[in-house]
Amino acid sequence: MKTQQVHQGRLKTPFHSRLAAVDTVNEWHEWKGYSSADSLYCEDMEYFAIRNSTAVFDLTPMTKYRITGPDALAYLNRLVTRDMAKIRPGRVAYAVWCDDQGQVIDDGTIFHLREGEYRLCSQERHFAWLTASAIGFDVSITHETEDVAALAVQGPTSFSVLNKMGLDGLDQLKPFGLTHFDFEGTELMVSRTGFTADLGYELWIDPDKAEALWDALFAAGELYGIRAIGTHALEMARIEAGFLAAYMEFLPADETVRTGRSRSPLELGLDWLVDFKKPNFNGRRALADEKRNGSKWRLVKLDIEGNKPAHNSYIFANAKANKGEIGFITSAAWSPVCKQNIALGTVCTPHGKPGDSVWVEIYYQREMHWSRKMAKATVVDKPFWFPPRRGATPPGPC
Amino acid sequence: MTDRYDAIVVGAGHNGLVCAALLAKAGKQVLVLEANPQVGGAAITREFTDGYSVSACAHLLYQLQPEVRKELKLAPGLASENMATIALSEDGKHVRLSGDTVEGVSEDDAASYKRFRKRMTRFADLLRKYLNKAPPRLGTRDLKDLLTLGQLGFDIRRLGKEEMREFLRLIGMNIYDELDERFENPLLKGAISLDAVLGTHLGPRSPNTIMTYLYRHAGDHGRVATPKGGMGSVSEELAQAARSAGATIRTNMPVKRIIVENGRVTGAETEDGQRFDSYTVISNADPKRTVMDLVGAKHVETGFAQRIRHLRAKGNAAKLHLALDGLPTIAGLSKKDFAERIVIAPDEHYVERAFNPAKYGESSPHPVLEITFPSFRDTSLAPTGKHVMSAVVQYAPYELKGGWSDDAKDAFMRSVIRTIAKYAPDIEQRIKASELLTPADIEREFHITGGHWHHGELTLDQFLFVRPVSGAAQYRMPLDGLYLCGAGAHPGGGVSGAAGRNAARSILSREKVA
């Protein structure tokens, strides 16, 4: 019988030595068994690295599965709601997968590495579900989180940094594209993906070369304002981008106990990811019903008046609060780059159409005493932050 | 060249035939495809050795639903009916159970048995009402589901406060505890235990065995009969009913796959490559075979495929057929007693002990048996003066450690004969030929995954709203055009026709809505 050493305590990522070297605040949390930094020296400065120069985030703990075999495409097409046949080798797809009831289990990215060879990345672990979904398919699913070290390199100067590092031809890489380079005799995969809605890349390499990659990257980025960042700064950028996070905007369906606490892709504004032209995928029947009969919830992006972040607030249809709440805030932040008080929330339909006005009940504390404010908010359609350079190919020097 | 039908039934088991007959009666063009040369599935009569025939799998008729008989105008000829049960004792002081009476036990036990039967009959009647309905779905707002559910609640409540409590207490309980409280005679307890565990992977101390006992008695108050000409005659009659209603039945046509195109069922393809088109395919095969093999897991959703895969459906009952050159000698039995149902289950512990090895993949060294001599009242089954013995033998686990090799079968056969010989010392000299069907044989010959005669363990977690699995309890599977009509669907196994009839009614009533 094959035995495998089980790790005791918390794992360190292959970049840990480099992160520890720049860390001054010693604020770490656990992310799927790994130590991940909340912040390394100053949350705000780290945030501005994302928006003004280049931020480097260690995303090694991100769950990664390798999916291969003759049925890999058919398997993925049954697993996720979008049509994976359209994702050619060298392309990356944002995707969401559901249970039979059409409720979201998680979202993530699927990398079509080479013909018939895929990597699925997500925040949560899903081996049991992926394995159960493999019944009847000729595929193999390998958990490879520990086998791949990964960095997000995000921000307006990120292309210049990587270009300086010698990644020739990167300028031709389109958003959601991936390509391979040689890095000191090891294959380095670079994808133009990220969690910040800005120009940015993700680097994937063998853990043995992790530190060398980090060093090369930071050497190249010295004059481009490169900085390592923690999750707090990334979280602000994530909200500005309007991206969803598990346990924030939705609860993984397999984790919910009470009915009505999970969400469907349609309720999360992901209609564009659901392809009913596919004859069968998990949740198709339930989602078709939902499409016909209407959804219960709607995810909203809110532009809120004032400057008090609406953490954990109830949302009301009108200013007279205390009754008739229509939903609640799931993520909130003051956006320095947009100069907006922004939030993501979930409201019941028919409320929350783009352009609608709603009211948010904000509680805030000043010198121990609590104050309450009803703030008007507008439902917006577009992400709060979406600079043209994000979609530009070539991205151009910055 | 393909043919189009309103409905294709995969498998001509008795439920498939009932379903086909009812659909054909409603004016549908129905095609039934059967893998074996004979119709009937596990309800057939077969010559197992020269001149000796026997009901090859199911051998007692105790559940054929009056609704089915009436709607299809069936009148199966019976060789014997209202068979008593004789629990054999080595000393010849047997116990005889018949209806509400039991002989050969103390007065207390006899009185207790009457009370026990009265209550069980009441509960079984309640259950019977729901055997003949599609179970309601939970958590929907469908009016019919809510009404059925409300009716069920009301019916349970209507038992009266005390009886309702008793019903709710007993339904999940094991038969052993109940017997222990009520009776003292070991033979009586053994015989009732046997009734509770026949055909299951359960021992009398397993939870849920009161429910299986009730299920058995829900059919026809526990009255058992043998059809004239064996069980095959019932299937033949059903096939005749289906044919005269206009259904086409084709035997020797094993279905290779149920065709799925564009996310819906569009027909069936047979092993020889013929294709038959229909937007309604009703599978009489067990749920696992239907979904995992015939349809393919990839055409359904993950959760459903996984639930079907986890369905517990491993048979534990073997079938023994003996060709005898005369009736064996059993002390204390008169000749006419051979017309009855004879059981070897000397006490409740014996039955539980027989089950113990089965949990670990071993067959019982001291098995329990339900024995009949169908030729006693039906001379067509054996040459004049000779006899056929048909017995259900437990326990013979489907997944026997090391597999059902010839040696393993021989060893089990020896245990069985040794067990019978304790009561009928001359049995071995009487045997001219024999046939033992283990669950593995039953799987192979009758195409039932796991060789389980209920197509899936009959336990509360696989019963009513959740049979075969949750989300698929109303005969319609979560794949457009696919239906289930066999024992794996509600209510379960036994030659009752209930699943087939309920399935047909579900299909027809859906059509009315649409």
Q: Annotate B432-472 with three-state secondary structure.
A: EEEEEECHHHHHHHHCCHHHCCCCCCCCHHHCHHHCCCCCC
d(CA B241, CA A49): 81
Q: Spell out which residues of chain B touch residue A280, defining contact as CB-CB under 8 Å.
A: 260, 263, 298-301
Query: Which residues of chain A, if any, have pLDDT below 50?
Result: none
CB atoms within 10 A of CB A321: 16
Interface of A with B in 187-216 (CB under 8 A): none
Residue B301: closest C-alpha in chain A: A282
Q: How close is the nearest chain A Cα to the Cα of B277, in Å?
A: 19
Q: How close is the nearest chain A Cα to the Cα of B470, in Å?
A: 12
E strand or H helix at B369: strand B368-372
Q: Spell out which residues of chain B touch residue A296, defining contact as CB-CB under 8 Å.
A: none
Architecture category of domain A16-60+148-229 in CATH? 2-Layer Sandwich (3.30)
Q: How close is the nearest chain B Cα to the Cα of A143, in Å?
A: 19
Mean of the pLDDT values across residues B152-164?
92
Of B41-45, B142-146, B390-394, which gets the smallest average pLDDT? B142-146
> Least CB-CB distance to B306: which of A132, A259, A285?
A132
Burial B221-230 (b: 16+ CB within 10 A, else e): ebebbbbbbb
pLDDT digits (tens, 9 = 90+) for A267-320: 999 999 999 999 999 999 999 999 999 999 999 999 999 999 999 999 999 887
For residue B352 the two structure tokens come to 């539980």
B478 touches A: beta carbon within 8 Å: yes
Beta carbon pairs, A and B, within 8 Å: 57
Q: Domain residues of chain A, as ranges?
A: 16-60+148-229, 296-382
The DSSP code sequence of B313-366 is ----EEEEEEEESSPPP-TT--GGGGGSEEEE--SHHHHHHHHHHHHTT---SS
Cβ A135–B305 below 8 Å, yes or no? yes
A279 touches B: beta carbon within 8 Å: yes
A214 and A15 in contact (C-beta within 8 Å)?
yes
A97 touches B: beta carbon within 8 Å: no
CA neighbours within 13 Å on the CB side: how many for A240? 25
Q: Which long-range contacts (CB under 8 A, 24 or more apart) does A10-16 make?
A: A10/A34, A10/A35, A11/A35, A11/A146, A13/A58, A13/A60, A13/A61, A13/A149, A13/A210, A14/A60, A14/A149, A14/A207, A14/A208, A14/A210, A14/A211, A15/A58, A15/A60, A15/A149, A15/A151, A15/A210, A15/A211, A15/A214
Ranges assigned E (strand) in A128-266: 140-143, 149-154, 178-183, 186-191, 200-205, 226-228
3-state secondary structure of A110: strand
pLDDT of amino acid A318: 85
Q: How close is the nearest chain B Cα to the Cα of A175, in Å?
A: 32
Q: Spell out which residues of chain B touch residue A78, defining contact as CB-CB under 8 Å.
A: 298, 301-302
Q: Which of B503, B506, B498, B512 is nearest to B127 (CA)?
A: B498
Cβ B302–A100 below 8 Å, yes or no? yes
CB atoms within 10 A of CB A350: 11
Q: How close is the nearest chain A Cα to the Cα of B155, in Å?
A: 28
Q: Spell out which residues of chain B touch residue A281, defining contact as CB-CB under 8 Å.
A: 301
Cβ B263–A284 below 8 Å, yes or no? yes
Residues 6+ apart with CB under 8 A from A350: none
Q: What's the pTM?
A: 0.93
CA distances to A55, A230, A335, A344 from A47, rounded to whole Å, are: 8, 9, 10, 19
Interface confidence, given as ipTM, is 0.91
Please, which residues bridge with residue B391 across strands? B320, B371
Residue B294: closest C-alpha in chain A: A136
Q: Which of A66, A349, A137 is nearest to B297 (CA)?
A: A137
Q: How close is the nearest chain B Cα to the Cα of A42, in Å?
A: 45
Please, which residues bridge with residue A304 across strands? A341, A377
Q: Is the link from the previous residue into A394 a cis peptide, with omega within 30 of 0?
A: yes
Q: Spell out which residues of chain B touch residue A74, defining contact as CB-CB under 8 Å.
A: 298
Q: Provide the residue type at A332 as one letter.
A: A
A18 touches B: beta carbon within 8 Å: no
pLDDT of amino acid B2: 57
A287 touches B: beta carbon within 8 Å: no
Q: Which of A236, A216, A65, A238 is nearest to A151 (CA)?
A: A216
For residue A99 the two structure tokens come to 């249970």
A252 touches B: beta carbon within 8 Å: no
pLDDT digits (tens, 9 = 90+) for B238-263: 999 999 999 999 999 999 999 999 99
d(CA A194, CA A202): 7
d(CA B272, CA A73): 30
Cβ B302–A133 below 8 Å, yes or no? yes
A368 touches B: beta carbon within 8 Å: no
Q: Provide the residue type at A78 as one letter.
A: R
Where does chain B hold its CATH 3.50.50.60 domain(s)?
A: 3-43+66-75+230-311+452-513
Please, which residues bridge with residue B31 across strands? B8, B248
Please, which residues bridge with residue A39 across strands? A27
Percentage of chain A beyond pLDDT 90 is: 94
d(CA B187, CA A364): 77
Q: How close is the nearest chain B Cα to the Cα of A129, in Å?
A: 8
Please, which residues bridge with residue B277 across strands? B4, B267
The residue among A76, A105, A280 with the most chain B CBs within 10 A of its CB, best to mutate, is A280
Mean of the pLDDT values across residues B166-185?
95
Q: What is the mean pLDDT of chain A?
A: 95
Q: How close is the nearest chain B Cα to the Cα of A283, in Å?
A: 7
B292 touches A: beta carbon within 8 Å: yes
Tell me the CATH number for domain A296-382.
2.40.30.110
Interface of A with B in 330-359 (CB under 8 A): none
3-state secondary structure of A109: strand
What is the CA B231 to chain-centroid distance, rounded?
A: 12
Residue A103: closest C-alpha in chain B: B303
Q: Provide the residue type at B332 as one letter.
A: G
Q: Provide the residue type at B331 as one letter.
A: A
For residue B412 the two structure tokens come to 């089990």
pLDDT of amino acid A322: 65
3-state secondary structure of B234: helix
Mean of the pLDDT values across residues B348-352?
98
B302 touches A: beta carbon within 8 Å: yes
Q: Spell out which residues of chain A touch residue B260, defining contact as CB-CB under 8 Å.
A: 280
Place of tokens 């004789």: B86
d(CA B242, CA B11): 13
Q: Which long-range contacts (CB under 8 A, 24 or more apart) does B309-312 make?
A: B309/A135, B311/B287, B311/B456, B311/B457, B311/B462, B311/B468, B311/B469, B311/B488, B312/B201, B312/B456, B312/B457, B312/B459, B312/B462
pLDDT of amino acid B1: 45
d(CA B391, CA B374): 10
Burial B412-449 (b: 16+ CB within 10 A, else e): bbebbbebbeebbeebeebbbebbbbbbbbbbebbbbb
pLDDT of amino acid A4: 75
- What is B3-43+66-75+230-311+452-513's CATH topology? FAD/NAD(P)-binding domain (3.50.50)
Cβ B478–A259 below 8 Å, yes or no? no
**C-alpha angle with apex B294: B288 to B299, nearest 5 degrees?**
90
What is the CA A322 to chain-centroid distance, rounded?
A: 34
Burial of B6 (0-12, 13-18, 19+ CB in 10 A): middle
d(CA A135, CA B309): 9
Interface of A with B in 33-92 (CB under 8 A): 71, 74-75, 78-79
Q: How close is the nearest chain B Cα to the Cα of A372, in Å?
A: 39
Say whether pLDDT at B368 is over 90.
Answer: yes
d(CA A49, CA B514): 60
Q: How close is the nearest chain B Cα to the Cα of A264, in Å?
A: 16
d(CA B474, CA B463): 12
d(CA A280, CA B487): 27
3-state secondary structure of B110: helix
pLDDT of amino acid B471: 83
**C-alpha angle with apex A274: A271 to A279, nearest 5 degrees?**
150
> Least CB-CB distance to A282: which of B299, B302, B471?
B302
B141 touches A: beta carbon within 8 Å: no
What is the CA B84 to chain-centroid distance, rounded?
A: 19
Helices B348-359 and B186-197, packing angle to 10 deg = 40
Q: Spell out which residues of chain A touch residue B138, defining contact as CB-CB under 8 Å.
A: none
A138 touches B: beta carbon within 8 Å: no
Residue A283: closest C-alpha in chain B: B301
Residue B300: closest C-alpha in chain A: A280
Q: Where do runs of H (alpha helix) occur along B54-185?
A: 66-71, 107-131, 143-157, 161-170, 175-182
Residue B293: closest C-alpha in chain A: A136
Rg (CA), chain A: 21
Percentage of chain B beyond pLDDT 70 is: 99
Residues 6+ apart with CB under 8 A from B270: B33, B253, B254, B255, B256, B276
3-state secondary structure of B260: strand
Mean of the pLDDT values across residues B304-330?
96
Q: Is the link from the previous residue into B395 a cis peptide, with omega within 30 of 0?
A: yes
